[in-house]
Amino acid sequence: MTPLDPADLQAVWLTLKLASVSTLVLLLVATPLAWWLAHSGKWYKGLVAAAVALPLVIPPTVLGFYLLLLMGPHGVVGELTTALNFGRLPFTFSGLVIGSVLFSMPFAVQPIQNAFEAIGKRPLEVAATLRASAWDRFASVALPLARPGFVTAIILAFAHTVGEFGVVLMLGGNIDGETRVLSVAIYNHVEAMEYAAAHVLAGGMVLFSFLVLLGLYLAGGKFSKVTK
């Protein structure tokens, strides 16, 4: 007999869903941002890079608390979403996605930015002399060459969201199937002194994370050989 109840399984499923959606959104946001950071010569580039790296420094519960204030009825974001008829974001899955995206941003932007920078200007200039359009240069030259960076970004962003706790704790409200993710479920079990269930969930999480990281290093080795 396992000590897990259906709510735990729902938490596992919800965590995977949150990590997948967040990673997808992160790729869409981080790719242009990383491209700009890798190529822009603007004076405020440093400011943007520093802002992107900030979630590494801010304690997650603090980030979560300020998001709760911002998204609340008296916060700027909360007033905006209410005015646009979206309702309010705290205690919803969408709210968690936004929190996760902000929280994992550096883990997605930095590997992609490094990969773009490593390519250098030369391949893109060569492609330009062959009359490749700007979009073509990006899609057919830069993206394939930056693939190892994307692999790293995807795996780090996904794994980081799976392990996220503080932001979700502050924004979530512990609703089954909506905001009660795995890390919160484990914390609940520990707090309720249900150590058996906590051990099973935490053990599964450690195993899963290990496999993801193992995949990262194996894939990283393979891809770097290809690009050489």
The residues that touch other proteins, with contacts defined as CB under 8 A, are 65, 68-69, 71-74, 88, 90-91, 169-170, 173-175, 184, 187-188, 190-193
| CA nearest neighbour of 103 among 192, 167, 30 | 167
Looking up tokens 């609703």 gives 175
Among residues 162 and 184, whose Cβ is nearest to other proteins?
184
CB 81 within 8 A of CB 88: yes
Q: Please, what is the end-to-end C-alpha distance for the chain in angstroms?
A: 51
Q: Is 155 exposed, middle or buried (0-12, 13-18, 19+ CB in 10 A)?
A: buried
Nearest approach, Cβ of residue 23 and other proteins (Å): 26
Among residues 9 and 50, whose Cβ is nearest to other proteins?
9
Among residues 85 and 129, whose Cβ is nearest to other proteins?
85
Nearest approach, Cβ of residue 60 and other proteins (Å): 14
Cα separation, 144 vs 227, in Å, equals: 9
Q: Residue type for 103, please? A: F
Among residues 74 and 131, whose Cβ is nearest to other proteins?
74
**How many other C-beta atoms can be found within 10 angstroms of the C-beta atom of residue 73?**
9
| CA nearest neighbour of 103 among 49, 33, 45, 161 | 161
Cα separation, 220 vs 23, in Å, equals: 18
Nearest approach, Cβ of residue 72 and other proteins (Å): 4
Nearest approach, Cβ of residue 97 and other proteins (Å): 17
Nearest approach, Cβ of residue 139 and other proteins (Å): 42
Among residues 60 and 220, whose Cβ is nearest to other proteins?
60
